[in-house]
Amino acid sequence: MTAPVDPVRLLPGRGVEILDQTLLPLVERRVLLSGIDSVCEAIRELRVRGAPLLGLVGAAGMAIAADTTTANDADLAHAARLLDATRPTATDLGRAVRDALAQALSAGPSALLRREVLWRNAERLLALRRAEDEAIGQFGAELLPRGASVLTHCNTGALATAGIGTALGVVSIAHRQGRIERCYATETRPLLQGARLTTWELTRLGIPATLLPDTAAAALIASGLVDAVITGADRIAANGDTANKVGTYGLAAVAARHAVPFYIAAPTSTFDPGCPSGAEIPIEFRSPAEVGGFAGTRWSPDGIEAYNPAFDVTPASCITAIVTEHGVLRPPFAPAIAGLPALR
- Is 92 labeled as catalytic in the residue annotation? no
What is the full DSSP assignment across 300-329?
S-TT-----BSEEEE-GGG-SEEEETTEEE
Rounded to the nearest whole angstrom, what is the least distance from the CB of residue 308 to ligand MRU in the complex?
A: 11
Residue nearest to ligand MRU (CB): 232
From 47-55, 59-67, 204-212, 213-221, give the range in contact with ligand MRU by CB under 6 A: 47-55
User: How far is residue 156's CA from residue 159's CA, in Å, rounded to a whole number?
Assistant: 7
**If you count them, how many residues does the chain have?**
344
Specify the stretch interacting with ligand MRU by CB under 6 A; choose among 45-53, 63-71, 113-121, 171-179: 45-53
Q: Which is nearer to ligand MRU, 62 or 197 (CB)?
A: 197
From 33, 310, 318, 319, residue interacting with ligand MRU (rule: CB under 6 A): 310
- Considering only residues 248 to 307 of the shown chain, the ones binding ligand MRU according to CB under 6 A are none
Site for ligand MRU contains 198 (CB under 6 A): no
Q: How many CB atoms lie within 10 A of CB 221?
A: 23
Q: Read out DSSP for 62-101? A: HHHHHHTS---HHHHHHHHHHHHTT-SS-HHHHHHHHHHH
- Find the shortest distance in angstroms from Cβ 139 to ligand MRU: 15
Phi, psi of 201 (to 5 degrees): -65, -45
Burial 82-112 (b: 16+ CB within 10 A, else e): bbbebbbbbbbbbbbbebbbebbeebeeebe
Alpha helix segments (H runs only) across the chain: 36-44, 51-67, 73-84, 91-106, 111-141, 158-161, 167-176, 199-205, 217-223, 248-257, 333-338
- Min CB(4)–ligand MRU separation in Å: 16
121 vs 161 by CB, closer to ligand MRU: 161
Number of other CB atoms surrounding residue 201 within 10 Å: 26
244 beta partners: 312
Nearest one of 100, 126, 98, 247 to 187, comparing CA atoms? 247
The catalytically annotated residue of 227, 234, 272, 312 is 234
Under rule CB under 6 A, residue 234 binds ligand MRU: yes
Task: Work out how close the CB of 200 gets to ligand MRU at its nearest, in angstroms, rounded to a whole number.
Answer: 14
* Nearer Cβ to ligand MRU (104/267): 267
Query: Interface residues for ligand MRU in 135-174 (CB under 6 A)?
Result: 154, 156, 160-161, 166
Q: How far apart are CA 301 and CA 104, in angstroms?
A: 49
| Under 8 Å between Cβ of 127 and 10 | no
Per CB under 6 A, which of residues 70..89 are in contact with ligand MRU? none
- Closer by beta carbon to ligand MRU, 115 or else 245: 245
Among 15, 42, 47, 50, binds ligand MRU (CB under 6 A): 50
Q: Is 226 exposed, middle or buried (0-12, 13-18, 19+ CB in 10 A)?
A: buried
Task: Say whether residue 58 binds ligand MRU (CB under 6 A).
Answer: no
Q: Is residue 244 at the binding interface for ligand MRU, with CB under 6 A as the rule? A: yes
Residue 185 within binding range of ligand MRU, rule CB under 6 A = no
Per CB under 6 A, 193 contacts ligand MRU? yes
Q: Which is nearer to ligand MRU, 104 or 164 (CB)?
A: 164
327 beta partners: 324
CB 286 to ligand MRU: min, Å: 9
Give the bridge partners for 243, in sequence order. 235, 313
Is residue 206 within 8 Å of 181, Cβ to Cβ?
no
Least separation in angstroms between CB 77 and ligand MRU: 25
Number of amino acids touching ligand MRU (CB under 6 A): 19
- Residues involved in catalysis: 234
Which residues here bind ligand MRU, judged by CB under 6 A?
A: 46, 49-52, 90, 154, 156, 160-161, 166, 193, 231-234, 244-245, 310
